[in-house]
A and B are shown apart, each in its own frame.
Chain A
Amino acid sequence: MRVKRFLLVALMIVSLVIFARSTVEIWVNWTADEFKPIKELVDKFNASQDKYEAKVLSVSNLAAKFTTALAAGNPPDLIHANDQYISPVVAMGAFIPVDDLGVDFSMFKDFVMRAVKYKGHIYGLPIKVNIFGIWWIKKTFEKAGLDPNKGPQTIEELVKYSKKLTVYNKKGELVRWGFDPLVPDWDWPYVWVFHFGGNLVDPKTGMPTIDSPQAIRAFKWLKSYMDSFGLEKVKKFRGGYGPYWSANNVFLTGKLAMFYDGDWVTYAARRYAPSVELGFAPLPSIDGKKRCYSEVDIFSIPVGAKNVEGAKAFLRFLAKPENLIVLSKGQISPLKEEYTPKWFYQKRKYAKILESYMKSCEIVFCPKFPLWNLYLDEIRNAADEIQNGTMSVEAALKRAERNIMRRLRR
């Protein structure tokens, strides 16, 4: 009897060990509504096989916690990141390439694959792509006597539109501003360099070029644009901007008539101002070329992940078009049109127009620069100094260049 019992228990333990599912830990920075699609996909993955048990965690301040986890030797198996962070994290040696994932990467749009490649290797599965440009509320354009279906085509036109859309009160204070090129806490100051024909990094040497003549011209234009509305008036007006993800969104409440943003603004519009009709156009470039800045979200496998095989299995599952597309909350599918399910274009009301722009635009990304965070910080600071008039354009950009070069030398 005792022997039988012992054998039974032993059998149970052995079967538990053999048939137990290994855990795949996934960290994302999505919360609330944005978290739901990945949770559903994880549940679907768990139900589809019995080898792995995926667990997804919504982690605030993801970058800092990821660093701490790496330092402690306990990173997740998969992490949600952005194409901007590929080069800094790879430079640190913290992502493993996924060229051998067994996914047909040719189904992704070419520019999307360009974003996730670094030094000839693919460092993550693209899951979401966003495109940036100028958005406006069509009714506001109509009321101002502008064509609601046509945005500014040149930099001069952008200024003209902005002046026309700007409204002051009796005291001369801004009530509605046509366009804010550097929205505090929600800005991409470096994109202006692209639209003035420059680059942030020399493609040949990989060295920063923030003090190039094109960058100087871009920031001089920004300064003169701000000054034309009066810096103090602008500052006071900006002080009243509400949080982006709220009903006080500065664009959706109509305080800014034109807004430079990613296509997630359509998602914010669905939540906070469902009745508004939006218009979109690429941010004009000085040379007349159409350029669109883009960012790509990825899932990457960190070095030190305990379940690399499980992570890869999840990525292969996620790479199926019907799964991948669930994560695209914006208007752009990372997949080529023939791989994108038809419902996507029916449900995303701006998808077609954005796709058409993407075909005619030169898509630009953040440079693959190992010290990108520092570089961005330096550019932001230079933009601040320039706007505030505390430094000249040349001096501020020169200092940014010098500081980043100094860190590179280190």
Chain B
Amino acid sequence: MRLEINNMRVFYGKIEAIKGISVVVNEGEIVTLIGANGAGKTTTLKTISGLRKISEGSIIFDGQDISNLSAHERVEIGISQVPEGRGIFPGMTVLENLEIGKYFRKNRASEMAEDIERVYTLFPRLKERTSQAGGTLSGGEQQMLAIGRGLMARPKVLLLDEPSMGLAPMMIQNIFNIITEINKSGTTILLVEQNAQQALQRAHRAYVLETGKVVKEAKASDLLNDPAVRAAYLGTGANNPG
């Protein structure tokens, strides 16, 4: 499994949001895209998951060009996205949210119970809230639900968009621990984060995006110690990397 984005360009109308970026995610890695607001991180993820149309370049997954597949077909071949702002279905219960995560695998009903159990083991809090409407959960619980729902599709690569957004520091630690755990159990992860400190600590490799371009690509641990990156993205709170 390898996800390869080659010279990808994406336009919103006449505005070029992504100006030819190339990113590679190898099997088993956590790769992170960091960058400021408007750098194109979310657009990149949405184009990989098929919500946005690629204008030029290609997306290769498992050796297959998937640039023209629609979003739901990409889920079927193993790409799941946990959207920014969690995107859970507020009027559905926790259980229904998880069930719909396996929507396309209709012939694999036997997996359902097993995978729900797996998500509940990962997030015991969700099990307690199983019949509660998704919209009534706290932000952290919604994030757990969004990640759990993403795992229901048994993705080969999980795209995570700002999983730490709006969460309390304790919860951020918790979520990142679980991301690491998910990766260790064999799921490749492409992580978009504004919390560069956490993202770089957890990731194997990283790309820095600025206004639609990749300006730096390196091992995550190297970027943690890179003076330019520290100044731009890690701020003053980063005196103690690692």
Binding between chains A and B: no
